[in-house]
Amino acid sequence: MPPSTPDFRRRAQLTELMDEPCTRDQLRGCLRDIAKLNSLTFGARPVLRWLDTVLESFGNSLPEHAVPLRILDVGCGYGDGLRRIEQWARARRIAVELIGLDLNPDASAIAQEVSPSSSRIQWICADIFGFSPPQPIHLVTSSLFTHHLADIDIIRFLRWMERNATLAWFVNDLSRAPIPYHFIRAFGRLTGLHPFVQYDAPVSVARSFIREDWQVLCAAAGLRETDVQIQAFRPARLCVARSKPKWSLPK
């Protein structure tokens, strides 16, 4: 079991079972239950609201150079978040090219196998720090990815997004606090979630962030306080959004 009372003043130095070697079947069951938990906690809502904000910033009509809109989701896991983005684009009749990237080849294979045949998402297994997009990426998103990284790699990731996202990027992760930690610890046991999730979900909260963490990390990545928006979403989400200045975008 995860610690009964971690130190919430700083990010926990703990590992998650899903990050250790396991079978594809074990990972599939884990990712499936994480997707269920994301659905119950409206985990995709911050990303979808941000996408609406990006679209509204262009007067609900994307610039010519951003059609089709290329979106890269980093650490895509089960792919449920990117499939929600695909539904979002379809509902708004927006032409998109969607890429889901994950370091684990089993995760990429699972995301593809559970996606409907009508889906046009491209699933890629690669290390984000060695990945060079074949075409310009307009938007970069990640959900529940950054808490898996050490601070130094989060800073690298922020810099990578800043270099490669031509329009904007968005980090959707958890908020470190006692209430969500203890709630998810009890909820996982009571509902019989996959054993990996019972352990990993509270550990994820303990490894996640408070606002001051993101302020320090963004500053270390060379971003000014006015460059990013740090916003909390209920329940227990803390997100970082960055939009590039309109004058710096390609014509």
Is the pLDDT assigned to residue 174 strictly greater than 70? yes
Is the pLDDT assigned to residue 222 strictly greater than 90? yes
At 93 the three-state DSSP class reads coil
Of residues 57, 127, 54, the one with CA closest to residue 96: 54
| pLDDT on residue 3 | 67
Contact by Cβ (8 Å): 239, 173: yes
Mean pLDDT of 121-125: 97
| pLDDT on residue 250 | 47
pLDDT tens profile 190-209: 999 999 999 999 999 999 99
CA 169 to chain centre: 10
Rg of the Cα atoms in the chain = 18
Parallel/antiparallel/unpaired status of strands 96-102 and 69-74? parallel
| pLDDT on residue 166 | 94
Is the pLDDT assigned to residue 101 strictly greater than 90? yes
How many CA atoms lie within 13 Å of 126's alpha carbon, on the beta-carbon side?
A: 15
| pLDDT on residue 181 | 96
Where do the domains of the chain lie, and which CATH numbers do they carry?
Answer: 26-246 (3.40.50.150)
pLDDT tens profile 31-73: 999 999 999 999 999 999 999 999 998 877 777 778 899 999 9
Q: Other CB atoms closer than 10 Å to residue 5's CB: what's the count?
A: 9
Mean of per-residue pLDDT scores for the chain: 94
Whole-model pTM: value is 0.94
Token digits for 147? 């808490």
Mean pLDDT of 228-233: 97
Contact by Cβ (8 Å): 223, 242: yes
- What confidence tier does 247 reach under pLDDT thresholds 50, 70, 90? very low
At 229 the three-state DSSP class reads strand
Mean pLDDT of 208-227: 98
Quick one: what percent of the chain has pLDDT higher than 90? 89
